[in-house]
Amino acid sequence: MYDFAKTDPNDKAALYTDLLSALGAITAEEPDPIANMANAAALIWDFLPDLNWAGFYRVIDGELVLGPFQGKAACIRIARGQGVCGTAMATREIQCIDDVHAFPGHIACDARSMSELVVPIEHEGRLIGVLDLDSPTLARFDAQDVEGCAELMAVLGPRVAG
Ligand code: SME
C-alpha cells in the first residue's frame, strides 16, 4: 500500500516538494505509461486540495484521447485546438484559466468546473499528452501550481512516453 498524502494542504511549496518526490519514487521502476499516468492521477488527487477532476489526455493519431483520471466520467476525444486541453495541445503551452466560462470553446465535462490548469507533457520534442486539472473554485491555480505541475510533468514525461 502507498499512502503518501500527509502534507499540510495549506503549505503549497511543501505539497509540491512531497508530491514530486512521491511521483518520482512510484514511477521510477515502471515502464508502462498507463500505469504511471494512473498513479500520477491518484497522487495528484490525494495531494492537491480543491479539485473536481485530475487526469490525462493522450495524443493518439493527432487528437487527445482520455487517459487515466480521478473524478467524474469525462469527454473521451478532444480535437487539436478545441477547448482548453486542445489549445494546450496546439500551442504546447501551459493553460492556466481562472474562469473556464470565459474561455472560448471550453468543453464542460463537469458542470462544477470553474478554473482549469492544463500542462503539456513532452519527451524528446514529442507531445505525449496533457495533464488536466479542474477545480470548482474560480482562480484556483496560481504561479506556484503552474511551476509545480510543470516540474511534475518534466519528471513524468520520459516515464509515460512508451
Ligand atoms: N474542460 C476541458 C475538457 C476536459 S474535462 O475538463 C475533463 C477542456 O476545455 O479542454
146 in contact with ligand 1, CB cutoff 6 A: no
- Ligand 1 atom closest to residue 82's alpha carbon, by position in its atom list: 10
pLDDT of residue 4: 64
Is the pLDDT confidence value at 5 over 70?
no
Is residue 78 lining ligand 1, measured as CB closer than 6 Å?
yes
User: What is the predicted pLDDT for the residue at 102?
Assistant: 96
47 pocket-lining for ligand 1 (C-beta < 6 Å) = no
What are 113-151's pLDDT values in tens digits? 999 999 999 999 999 999 999 999 999 999 999 999 999
Q: What confidence tier does 70 reach under pLDDT thresholds 50, 70, 90?
A: very high
Q: Top-level CATH class of 12-159?
A: alpha beta
H or E element in which residue 32 lies: none
110 — pLDDT class (breaks 50, 70, 90): confident
Please say if the pLDDT value at position 24 is more than 70.
yes
From residue 121, how far is each of 3, 20, 56, 57, 114 by CA, in Å? 25, 15, 10, 10, 23
Q: Which atom of ligand 1 is nearest to the CA of 109?
A: 5
- Residue minimizing CA distance to atom 1 of ligand 1: 107
Q: Is the pLDDT of residue 87 over 70?
A: yes
Of 2-6, 131-135, 150-154, where does mean pLDDT reach its minimum?
2-6
Ligand 1 site, residue 84, Cβ cutoff 6 A: yes
Interior angle at CA 114, CA 90 and CA 73, nearest 5: 75
How long, in residues, is the chain?
162
Is residue 1 predicted with pLDDT exceeding 60?
A: no
Tell me, in angstroms, the distance from the centre of ligand 1 to residue 29's CA. Answer: 30
